Chain A
């Protein structure tokens, strides 16, 4: 893997001679020659992982967005993907439930195993995959329907409830798990779009967990929310870890530090460093990681 990566790394850096990026690039190459170079630093590969991804490359048309990323996600852990804007962390996240399929010029290569099943094989239906790997988006996006219908949409779609009372139960437990039930129990028939931003995001989380996925992908779930709503969501993420495996993309390093057990630092489409969150934030092993978490750029 190492020789291969060297080539793509230096190539890609030459391909983008932007002023600021170039500085960083020079930094990176000079730094990496000192460290054991071009390999993702840290514990990116695990045994018996929930999600295993190897040598992932993503292209948008001619442009390559992700370079040879390998990362494993453990059972019932929260892994935070951090990195500067445009570093490919969201793109990587979206490969995990094949949301990139909808983008016509997007091409994905590499191995993706969810419980040792290849999710990009012909046998895997993207609809089934997305029922197993749910997603919460950056902007709260409830359907312009009632709160009840928002949560019930997934179970209805997949036929998870045979009777109305079963459906009621799913909706209520999902709302409870998302910490929203107390606030909305008297107005389940009111439109979901009438809730506050934080409530809307929790509604979206309830909607996602209503189909009982195994993994939840969160793409900057709190970036559009105020600090109080953010704190509630973060608490919720911690509680959800009991039942779900969670991968969260975030711009906020404090958030990553608060909610995650492991953190992966992305830079220009590559994973630079993976490790225990506490280690990443207190004792980063790579210069780029250190630069980022100390706020030298980002």
Chain B
């Protein structure tokens, strides 16, 4: 057998090996893709109900007698806010089903409508006070009000759930017949903050909390990160101390995030006495976490600026500082920004350190600044996933979708910046 035959003999085996390896690769990619798709599909399917809310059409009588207003009473803020709106809704429900008389049945009837409905009714009437003073014989306001979360879930999913009684199912059936029940886009999800009642809960508070927290993170970690990177890369003397700092920065990037939370709790809150649950402290903690990422990526970007550009500037008589600020930093900027955005995306998705500093509290108000109590999107997900009401499942999934959307936007922005501002030389 000569050499050609030996090679020929082995060829088949070699190609088979290559083919096998390619298939392993394809299989690995496919597995990852399938799992990702399943996860996303599951979240999307679960989230869909959260974007719809069930409403019930009620006729609210608005004559002065029902409103318990004397005929000569002027209609102003005080008198309007004194009206018993809860009673109005109950009265309207009773009028719909006058045959219901048993106490228990009535209770179940009243439970059809969300406990927050009285506030929306009040808001509506306060905005339109002329409804009451109108001269029509029997002023009646027909208004769509939110259903209770259990009714909402039952109606949207069309499945029997234990918290909806048989009596309530009958009510709903009759409402369907009268076309007094419908679903519409759930604006509350985007305009409200956290609530104990799922149908009244929204992500506005968490969204703004995330915004303020990230703002603080960005304002602190970007300048500090760039400053540290420029100094270490361009000015720091090459000695043991610099090496030590370098090693520590790399290690810091690998520290579990909850440790930063504990650090924030003991330093910022316990030692410096900053308030709990506020975006300021959250942002500080997340800056500590993001800094290593920004420093490492910025240093890599600065290092990748060709030395010929630096030499050119120095050769004309630019000082070291001018060289860095006129040439090195602008050329490194796309890389720095990419690293920063990826760091910020990490910070946006971070939960553990924020639990430590109290951003896990139940907060109904929308934060107006960095020292207002707030929570953030991932913590809101954590909070809702823990709630017993079934409707919170959908809200959790919907919030995950919003969070994923923001992450996708940020990462796309990073890619765009890198592609668009990268200069060739």
Contact = CB atoms under 8 A, between A and B. Distances in A.
15 contacts: A99-B311, A99-B314, A102-B310, A102-B320, A128-B317, A129-B317, A131-B316, A134-B316, A141-B308, A141-B311, A143-B309, A144-B423, A144-B425, A158-B317, A208-B316
B256 interface: no
Contacts of A270: none
Interface in B296-354: 306, 308-320, 322, 326-327, 331
Contact of A104 (B237, B313, B316, B317): B237
B424 interface: yes
Contacts of B238: 104
A281 interface: no
Give the interface SS of chain B, mostly helix, strand, loop or mixed. helix
A139 interface: yes
A89 interface: no
Interface in A112-162: 127-131, 134-137, 139, 141-144, 153-154, 157-158
A204 B425 contact: no
A127 B318 CA distance: 6
A207 interface: yes
Given A104-B238, A137-B308, A143-B327, A207 B316 contact: yes
Contacts of A130: 314-317
A265 to B, nearest CB: 25
B317 A131 contact: yes
Please give me the 6 A-B residue pairs with the lowest Cβ-Cβ distance, nearest first.
Answer: A135-B315, A141-B308, A131-B317, A130-B317, A154-B316, A141-B312
Interface residues of A, number: 27
A150 B425 CA distance: 13
Given A141-B308, A144-B424, A193-B424, A97 B315 contact: yes
Contact of A153 (B237, B306, B316, B425): B316
A139 B310 CA distance: 13
B246 to A, nearest CB: 15
A211 interface: yes
Interface string A260-276: 00000000000000000
B232 to A, nearest CB: 14
A137 B314 contact: no
Interface string A143-187: 110000000011001100000000000000000000000000000
A137 B424 contact: no
Residue in A97, A136, A141 whose Cβ sees the most chain B Cβ within 10 Å: A141
Given A130-B315, A137-B308, A211-B317, 5 more contacts: A99-B315, A102-B314, A128-B317, A139-B308, A211-B316
A204 B237 contact: no
A143 B312 contact: yes
B333 to A, nearest CB: 12
A136 B311 CA distance: 10
A104 B239 CA distance: 11
A191 B308 CA distance: 17
- Which of B310, B311, B313, B322 has the most chain A CB atoms inside 10 A of its CB? B311
A157 B309 CA distance: 16
A72 B311 CA distance: 25
A134 B315 contact: yes
B312 to A, nearest CB: 4
Contacts of A128: 317
Among B316, B319, B322, B327, find the residue whose CB has the most chain A CB atoms closer than 10 A: B316
Contacts of B331: 144
B322 A157 contact: yes
Nearest to B425: A144
Interface in A88-104: 97, 99, 102, 104
Contact of A127 (B308, B317, B425): B317
A154 B317 contact: yes
Interface in B233-279: 237-238
Contact of A157 (B311, B317, B425): B317
A137 B317 contact: no
A41 B157 CA distance: 100
- Residue from the set B314, B317, B327 with the largest chain A CB neighbour count within 10 Å: B317
Contacts of A208: 315-316
